[in-house]
Amino acid sequence: MGSVEDVRKVIQDLVAPDLKSLNVRLDSLEKEIGLKFDAVDSRFKAAETLAALRHETVLNTIAASNSQILNALALDKRMSNLESKQLAGSEQHA
């Protein structure tokens, strides 16, 4: 059984350093990929926040424009005038 032990020792002596080297390289690549992923994630979150702010700004602009248009048209006053004229007309007919 000495030869089996010798073969095992030779394989360990030849393969183990390469495995260790590969493991170190793999760990390094995992860290690098993790850092790049974090950078991309940060950029995505920043873009998402910027998009949300722009969306909110657009909504506020639309709301302000809508309010200005309604004020300019004075629809509520016009409707009140029409309703009062209708009521006055219907009372005259009755």
pLDDT digits (tens, 9 = 90+) for 4-44: 888 888 888 888 888 899 999 999 999 999 999 999 999 99
Task: Give the per-residue pLDDT at 49.
Answer: 97
- Cα separations (Å) of 28 from 17, 31, 55, 58? 17, 5, 40, 45
Q: Which two tokens stand for residue 88?
A: 């006055």
53 is in which domain, residue-wise?
A: 2-93
Query: What global pTM score does this model have?
Result: 0.51
Q: Which two tokens stand for residue 94?
A: 């009755």
CA dist 34 and 37 (Å) reads 5
Q: How many structural domains comprise the chain?
A: 1
